[in-house]
Amino acid sequence: MTDKIITAEEMRHYDSYTINTIGIPSLVLMERASLAVRDEILHAFPLNLKKVVIVAGSGNNGGDGLAVARLLHIAGVQVTILNVGNPAHASSEHQTQDKICQYYGIPQTTDLTSLNDATLIVDAIFGIGIDRPIKGTYADAIAKINNTNAIIVAIDMPSGINTDTGEIMGTAVKANTTVTFAYNKIGLTKNEGVDHAGRIVVANDMGTYAVD
């Protein structure tokens, strides 16, 4: 257990070293991350699983979301994936997770009305990769997420919160719980990041190597 709190750049450096130098495949880290999110959802919110909607961007945060969708589906939970990202920009891990979800027959949509009767929403739009203000469909999705009565669980960061400063980048998801990976992030502990993160769970058994 560690109280270390890090930046997006440090996390990217640790992930890159773990994947490229040590050789733990990126998809293995993604599976570990997603298992931690699944466990938190099943243990903390067992009464809110009637309709779970995973809101996925097209990067690796969205890839985590798709893996969580699959893990919850296997656990018998009714899950819908709401894709808000640009498929043309999907990361390779995202594409792999998407193919798996299609084989499992998990419903996917781009229709924001799928959020209407959600009981629990998983925010997998942006994680530590956010680098500019949120606009357009992403902003519409976040407004709708924040206007539901559903429990909101954010993956790694509440989408829209700057990982290093905790400031809102245009707009941001206001989560009940944030499951963040390897180490806590500075942006979850400062400014608007504090109340947008809600309860912070640090999944610290990822195997990520903290290289200097």
Ligand X SMILES: NC(=O)C1=CN([C@@H]2O[C@H](COP(=O)(O)OP(=O)(O)OC[C@H]3O[C@@H](n4cnc5c(N)ncnc54)[C@H](O)[C@@H]3O)[C@@H](O)[C@H]2O)[C@@H](O)CC1
Q: Which CB, 134 or 173, lies closer to ligand X?
A: 134
Q: Which CB, 26 or 159, lies closer to K ion?
A: 159
Does the annotation flag 3 for ligand binding? no
Q: Which CB, 145 or 155, lies closer to K ion?
A: 155
Does the annotation flag 64 for ligand binding? yes
CB of 47 to ligand X, least distance (A): 26
Residues 6+ apart with CB under 8 A from 88: none
CA distance 63 to 90: 9
| Backbone φ/ψ region at 182: left (φ over 0), alpha (ψ -120 to 50), beta | left
- State both tokens at 124: 């997998």
123 binds, among ligand X, K ion, none (CB under 5 to 8 A by kind): K ion
84 binds, among K ion, ligand X, none (CB under 5 to 8 A by kind): none
Does the annotation flag 39 for ligand binding? no
Residue positions counted in the chain: 212
Does the annotation flag 105 for ligand binding? no
Does the annotation flag 158 for ligand binding? no
107 binds, among ligand X, K ion, none (CB under 5 to 8 A by kind): none
CB of 4 to ligand X, least distance (A): 17
Give the footprint of ligand X on this chain (CB under 6 A).
15, 19, 26, 29-30, 33, 57, 59-62, 64, 91, 126-134, 138, 155-156, 181
Q: Which CB, 130 or 197, lies closer to ligand X?
A: 130
CB of 137 to K ion, least distance (A): 16
Amino acid at 150: A
C-beta of residue 63 within 8 angstroms of C-beta of residue 131: no
Does the annotation flag 140 for ligand binding? no
C-beta of residue 71 within 8 angstroms of C-beta of residue 79: no
The tokens 């992030």 sit on which residue? 185
C-beta of residue 53 within 8 angstroms of C-beta of residue 24: no
Question: DSSP 3-state assignment of 113?
Answer: helix
C-beta of residue 178 within 8 angstroms of C-beta of residue 197: yes
CB of 110 to ligand X, least distance (A): 15
- State both tokens at 20: 């490229």
CB of 138 to ligand X, least distance (A): 6
Q: Which residues are annotated as a binding site?
A: 60-64, 123, 127-133, 138, 156, 159
